[in-house]
Amino acid sequence: MGTLAALVSAIFATSKDLLSKRVSRDVDGTVSTFASFFFALPFYVVLMGLLWILGYEDFAWSAGFWGYVLIRSITDAAAEWLKMTAFQFGDLSVVACFFSLSPIFLLLLSPLITGDALTSTTVAGVVLVVIGTVLMVYRPGTRVDRTQFGAIGLATAASVFFALNSCFDRLAVQTASPTMSGFAMTALSCAFFVPAMWRSSARRIAVLEHAKLFTVRGALEVGFMVLKLTALRYLSAPYVVVLQRTSMILSVLAGRYIFKEQHIGQRLLAGTVIFIGVVVCLFGSID
């Protein structure tokens, strides 16, 4: 159940990223981030209502839930803003590969949060990820694209926050249902961006202009989040995140065939090396 939920959530993640990249041409990172949260809320309400009618949702939570929600919402707001801004400046395939670093940061942060120790296998996996990362940006005989490197920096920073998110997701979903956890986190994350949206009429107009696309992405966001949280009920955070990294390969292919991005062979190879490194890290984490 957990493995299937994680794999299906990867499909939702890729679809969501495609729409985020598409809308990044027309809106800034703040608008896109706010919309990703705001347009998901109605779908959460409908889903929770249906689950309550069917007897699968009781809206109950245990001690510590709101603390996890608060911390997770702060890290999620930062992660989503960095991600949406990265989409403004970088190619989808490049940005997606650097999001794949989140399992590495998750494993590095785990000793501080859960007390888990790193193994030699994990170190080998990190080396593979570094090799894949270098391969992603290496262009012999060409000048450095400073804009692309800016997107890489933003995507890498986002992956750190996404790693933290997975830790707090795991804690929160043990104290409330996946839908209740997802709704609470999304609502609070959305609230963080209300002041920025309220002060700018241009941003509010941009939300209305792209409402249809944002609505579709909101539905995808709910599917992704609920499936991810469901997987975290059954599986460890590193394992879930690694399974979700299958979306990276799909994003590289989509970047080539939908957005006509260049260097597809090199990026696909780099993405594959990074993915193998992440899998190796996973096995190191469960030795």
Kindly give the interhelix angle for 246-257 and 92-99, rounded to the nearest 10 degrees: 170
Beta carbons of 100 and 274 less than 8 angstroms apart:
yes
Over residues 11-62, the pLDDT tens digits come to: 898 888 888 878 888 888 889 989 999 999 999 999 999 999 998 888 888 8
Taken in order 85, 90, 92, 96, the sign of the CA dihedral is negative
Quick: pLDDT tens for 138-168. Answer: 555 555 456 677 778 888 888 888 888 888 8
pLDDT for residue 252: 67
Each domain of the chain, given as residue ranges in start order, spans: 2-285
Question: pTM for this one?
Answer: 0.75
Confidence (pLDDT) at 146:
63
Helix (H) or strand (E) holding 41: helix 41-53
Model confidence pLDDT, tens digit, residues 98-138: 766 777 787 777 777 755 566 677 677 767 776 776 676 55
Give the integer Cα–Cα distance in Å for 24 and 238.
29
